[in-house]
Chains A and B, each alone.
Chain A
Amino acid sequence: MSNKGSIIYLEEVTVDYDGFKALNNLNLIVEYNELRVVIGPNGAGKTTLLDVICGKTTPASGRVIFGKDINLIGKREDQISALGIGRKFQAPSIYANLTVWENLDLSLKRESKGIFATLMSKPTATEYRTIDEALETIGLKDHPHRLAGSLSHGQKQWLEIGMVILQDPLLLLVDEPVAGMTDKETEQTGLLLQALAEKHAVIVIEHDMEFVRQIARTVTVLHEGAVICEGPVEKVQADDRVREIYLGRQKVAYT
Chain B
Amino acid sequence: MIAEAADEKPRDGGEGLTFWFLGLVLLIILPALNVLPSDDSWLHVSDFTLNRFGKFLAFAILALGLDLIWGYTGILSLGHGVFFGIGAYCIGMHLMLTIGTESVYGNDLPDFMVWNQVKELPLFWKPFYSFWVAVLGAILVPVFCALIFGFLAFRSRIKGVYFAIITQAVALSAWLVFNRNETNLGGTNGLTDFKQILGFRLSESGTQRALYVITVLALGGAYFLCRWIIQSRAGKVLVAIRDSEQRVFFSGYSPATYKLFVFVVSAGLAGLAGMLYVPQVGIITPGQIGVLPSLEMVIWVAVGGRGTLIGAIIGAVGVNFGRSILTNYFPELWPFFLGGLFIAVVLIFPDGLVGLMRRLTIGSVRKTLGLEKPSAASEGAQP
- A residues sitting closer than 8 Å to B (CB atoms) are 54, 56, 76-78, 81-82, 86-87, 89, 93-98, 102, 105-107, 109-110, 113-115, 118-121, 145-147, 150, 163, 167
For chain B, give the interface size range: 20 to 34
Cβ 8 A contact of B250, one of A77, A98, A115, A121: A77
| CA distance in complex: A119, B257 (Å) | 13
Dominant secondary structure at the B interface? helix
| CA distance in complex: A103, B248 (Å) | 10
Residues of B within 8 Å of A110, CB to CB, are: 252
Residues of A within 8 Å of B249, CB to CB, are: 76-78, 81
Residues of A within 8 Å of B244, CB to CB, are: 93-96
Task: List the 10 closest A-B pairs by CB distance, nearest first.
Answer: A77-B249, A118-B234, A95-B243, A81-B252, A118-B233, A95-B240, A119-B234, A93-B247, A113-B252, A78-B254
| CA distance in complex: A93, B229 (Å) | 24
Decide: A115 and B234 in contact? CB cutoff 8 A: yes
| CA distance in complex: A79, B261 (Å) | 19
Residue of chain A at shortest CB distance from B229: A119
Residues of B within 8 Å of A121, CB to CB, are: 233
Work out how many contacts link A and B, with CB atoms closer than 8 A: 90
Most chain A beta-carbon contacts within 10 A, residue among B246, B252, B257? B252
Decide: A98 and B236 in contact? CB cutoff 8 A: yes
| CA distance in complex: A118, B4 (Å) | 30
Besides A81-B252, A98-B240, A118-B234, 6 new A-B residue pairs in contact (Cβ under 8 A), listed by A number: A56-B246, A76-B254, A87-B250, A93-B246, A96-B243, A147-B7
Residues of A within 8 Å of B234, CB to CB, are: 115, 118-119
Decide: A97 and B4 in contact? CB cutoff 8 A: no
Decide: A145 and B254 in contact? CB cutoff 8 A: no
| CA distance in complex: A12, B236 (Å) | 40
Decide: A102 and B247 in contact? CB cutoff 8 A: no
- CB within 8 Å for A95 and B247 given contacts A115-B257, A115-B261, A119-B229: yes
Residues of B within 8 Å of A86, CB to CB, are: 250
Most chain A beta-carbon contacts within 10 A, residue among B242, B247, B261? B247
Chain B 123-151 against A: per-residue CB contact (8 Å), 1 yes, 0 no?
00000000000000000000000000000
Decide: A97 and B242 in contact? CB cutoff 8 A: yes
Cβ 8 A contact of B252, one of A78, A146, A147: A78
Decide: B250 and A145 in contact? CB cutoff 8 A: no
Most chain A beta-carbon contacts within 10 A, residue among B237, B251, B257? B251
